[in-house]
Structure 1
Amino acid sequence: MIICKSGTESSFMRKARKMNTETDHFLAGHIEPGITTGELDHLADRYIRSQGAVPSFKGYNGFPASICASVNEQLVHGFPGKRKLNKGDVITKPRQFTMSHAIRQYIENPNRGIPEQGPRLKTGIVLAIESMIPIGAHLVGTLEDNWTVVTMDVISCAHFEQVVTDEADGMDIFTKLSA
């Protein structure tokens, strides 16, 4: 079932995504060798609350933190904790990962699938486009926490997310920061 959002619901989602993006940018200034993913989570929690908001991820279906902190072989939903970042580590930060031209061509190619099949985009539809790009065998598994997805060959990977909605006047990218 596809549910289209009302203008009011889209407005709330836009505000929440803006806060998420601003939090990512705030955290970018604190990412350096030696900091733990738990410390990043604490900083994010404090920043979000200082903006008059509440971290929505914390407690969602038992998730224990305010952010996901996926490092190197962790593709998505990594639990923040005692893991220290080292120089050269890859930490997934949605909306700040840059895709190469080749990957963009593959992802954005409009000629995938069967033409005129599947649901049509309608005003108010919201799409979360999540590119998960493992380097290596492309085999993934889930840790015992039932959240953290990792590459099976323990090679770095990245996760990139965009949230878009189809509005009456065209597509709107929720995850884009205004200048």
Structure 2
Amino acid sequence: MIICKSETELSFMRKAKRMEKETIHCLAGHIEPGFTIGKLDHLADWYIRSQGAVPSFKGYNGFPASICASVNEQLVHGFPGRRKLNKGDILAKTRQFTMSHAIRQYIENPNRGIPEQGPRLKTGIELAIESLIQIGSRHIGTLEDNWMVVTVGLVPCAHNGHTKTVATDGMDIFTKLSA
């Protein structure tokens, strides 16, 4: 079932996504070798609460942290903890990363589906568009915590996503970062 969001719901979503961007900006200055993912989580939790909000991940279906922070081989839903960042680590969700033109073309190539098939996009429909990229094999596995997804062989990977909503004048990209 596809649900079209009301303007009130979209307003709440914009506010939440703005808070997410502000939190990422707050964390960006602390992403350096030696800093632990757990410290990033504590900082994010403090910042979100200092703004009068509550971290939505914390406690959701047992998720133990305020942020998902996936490093290197962790594709999605990484638990913050004692892991220290090293120079060259890929940290998903707290910084942008660049892709080569060839990979970008492959990922963004339009018309992968069958034209005129599937539901029509209408104003208020929310889309979560996520790119999951890894080196080598496409095989992944979920750890015993039933949350963290890692690459088989622990090869580096990256995850990036945007929340978009169909608007009357195009797409409203809630997660677009300002320059």
TM-score w.r.t. the length of structure 1 is: 0.95
Write out aligned runs for 1:116-131 (5 A): 116-131=116-131
- The aligned counterpart of 2:41 is 41
What is the rounded CA distance, in whole Å, between the counterparts of 1:123 and 1:55 in structure 2?
28
What is the rounded CA distance, in whole Å, between the counterparts of 2:94 and 2:140 in structure 1?
19
What is the rounded CA distance, in whole Å, between the counterparts of 1:95 and 1:69 in structure 2?
10
Q: Is residue 123–residue 168 contact of structure 1 (8 Å, CA) maintained in 2?
A: yes
- The aligned counterpart of 1:13 is 13
* One-letter amino acid matched to 2:129: I
Deviation, 1:102, is: 2.2
Q: 1:34 aligns to what SS in structure 2?
A: coil
What is the rounded CA distance, in whole Å, between the counterparts of 1:178 and 1:112 in structure 2?
29
Q: Does 1:143 align with 2:143?
A: yes
Deviation, 1:95, is: 6.6
Q: Is residue 69–residue 94 contact of structure 2 (8 Å, CA) maintained in 1?
A: no
Q: Is residue 141–residue 149 contact of structure 1 (8 Å, CA) maintained in 2?
A: yes
* One-letter amino acid matched to 1:52: G
Q: Is residue 95–residue 162 contact of structure 1 (8 Å, CA) maintained in 2?
A: no
Q: Is residue 28–residue 94 contact of structure 2 (8 Å, CA) maintained in 1?
A: no
* One-letter amino acid matched to 2:66: S
What is the rounded CA distance, in whole Å, between the counterparts of 2:172 and 2:84 in structure 1?
37
101-110 vs 10-19, which deviates more? 101-110
The alignment-based identity, stated in percent, is 79
Write out aligned runs for 1:75-86 (5 A): 75-86=75-86
Cα gap change, 1:81/1:94 in structure 2, threshold over 3 Å: closer, same or farther? closer
What is the rounded CA distance, in whole Å, between the counterparts of 1:151 and 1:130 in structure 2?
17
Deviation, 1:61, is: 0.9
Q: 1:102 aligns to what SS in structure 2?
A: helix
CA RMSD of aligned residues (A): 1.3
The number of equivalent residue pairs is 179
Alignment deviations for residues 19-73 of structure 1 (CA, whole Å, 9 cap, x no partner): 1111111111001111111111000000111111110110111100000111111
Alignment deviations for residues 70-89 of structure 1 (CA, whole Å, 9 cap, x no partner): 11110010000111111121
Q: Is residue 162–residue 174 contact of structure 1 (8 Å, CA) maintained in 2?
A: yes
Q: Is residue 68–residue 76 contact of structure 1 (8 Å, CA) maintained in 2?
A: yes
Alignment deviations for residues 106-163 of structure 1 (CA, whole Å, 9 cap, x no partner): 2322221111001111000000101111112121000010000000111110000111
* One-letter amino acid matched to 1:130: E
Structure 1: segments with no counterpart, 5+ residues: none
Q: Is residue 94–residue 159 contact of structure 1 (8 Å, CA) maintained in 2?
A: no
Q: Which runs of 4+ in 1 moved over 4 A?
A: none
- The aligned counterpart of 1:115 is 115
Q: Is residue 67–residue 80 contact of structure 1 (8 Å, CA) maintained in 2?
A: yes
- The aligned counterpart of 1:173 is 173
* One-letter amino acid matched to 2:153: D
